[in-house]
Amino acid sequence: MFKVGILGATGMVGQKFVQLLSRHPWFKVTTLMASERRIGKIYGEEVDWIVSSDVPKDVFDVEMTPMDPKNCDADIVFSALPSNVAREVEPRFAREGFVVASNASAFRMEDDVPLVIPEVNPDHLSLIDVQRVRRGWDGFIVTNPNCTAIMLTISLKPLMDIGLRSVRVATMQALSGAGYPGVPSLAIIDNIIPFIRGEEEKVEVEPLKILGKLENDRVVPADIDISASCHRVPVIDGHLEAVWVKFDRKVEIEDAVEAFKSLKPLDLPTSPESVIVVRSEIDRPQPRFDRDEGDGMSVVVGRIKKVGDNEIRYLVLGHNTVRGAAGASILNAELMIKEGYIQK
C-alpha cells in the first residue's frame, strides 16, 4: 500500500478524494491537510460532508494537519487546492521529494509539467524527468486537466485519427463544479448562468497541450482550432457538452462511432471497462442517468449526427468531480506507479 496525503481535504473535490481513496486497493489515506483554522480538528467532526451519506470510517477520526511537508506522512500527495494556493504550496512538497498529483490549474500549462489523461497522452509523463532537472526538485508535480476539458479531450482523441481540424463546444456544467457552497440558490434556480470565469480559456487551450506531441523536452500543441462557450446549469453533478467537429475529409457517422469505441481502457484499478460509452437513444446522454457510468470514470457520447460532408455533431457527458477531478488525479497516480515513476 502507498501512503497518501490530501491537500485541501475539506472541500468538494477534497471530499471526493477521501471517498474514492477510502476503498482503493493501492492507497491508504494517512494525512489530511487543511487551512489554518482547521488544524488539529477531527476530520469527521469538522467537515460539512456532502459527497455521500457518511464520512468513511477509516478517516473520520484523523486529525487535520498544516499544509507543510514536515507534517506529511505520505508517498503521494493529492492536491484539491484552489489555484492561487496551489501555486505556493505544491512546489514545497515537490522540492521535498513528494509526488504531487494535482487537480489544481496552477501548473497545468507549464512547459515542464505533464498535463495528463492516461488513455490519451501517457507519454507526456516523460516531462517528469525534465521538470526535476530544471527545477532541482527531488519530487515532482503532475496535473490533470480542467473537468470540462477532460470530457471534451477524451472524445476528441480518437477523432484525431480521422482528420480532426476544428471544434466548437457549448457546455452545460453542473453546480458541483463551482465547489461548495458554490452558486447561490437564487442565482441558479429557474436560471442558466452563461458565464464561468476562466473556463472557456481552459477548455480552448488545455486540450491542445494534451493532444500535442513531445518534441525537444516540451509539448508542441495540436494543430486544431477550439472555440468554447461555457454555462452553469441547475444540475448537481455531470457536465454535458454539445460538440461540433470538422474534419479534413469526408466523414460518416459510422467513422465517428468506430473511432469513439476504439479508445481502450488501461489495466488500472480506477480504469472503467469502457473509456467512451456510445449511447444510441435519441435523448441520451443525460446527467441524472449517465454520469455514474463506469463508476463515474467513463464518458458517454450520444446524439451523433452528420451536419455536413466533413462535419459531425455529438453530445458528451462526464461526472465532473470523479472523471473530471479526483478520479482523474487518482488514475494519473496509478499510471505513474505502473510506469515506475512512483516506487516504494
* Location of C-alpha cell 456544467: 173
- As given in the structure block, the three cell numbers for residue 273 are 471497462
- As given in the structure block, the three cell numbers for residue 163 are 482528420
Percentages helix, strand, coil for the chain (3-state, rounded to 5) are 35, 25, 40
Q: 72, 230, 239, 319: which one is catalytic?
A: 239
Q: 147, 230, 231, 319: which one is catalytic?
A: 147
> DSSP state, 221?
P
Q: What's the farthest any 2 CA atoms get from each other in the chain?
A: 62
- As given in the structure block, the three cell numbers for residue 78 are 493529492
Span between the terminal Cα atoms of the chain, in Å: 9
Q: Using DSSP, how many helices (H) and how many strands (E) does the chain show?
A: 11, 13
Is 24 among the residues known to form the active site?
Answer: no
Three-point CA angle 129, 132, 136, nearest 5°: 150
Is 239 among the residues known to form the active site?
Answer: yes
Residues recognised as catalytic = 147, 239
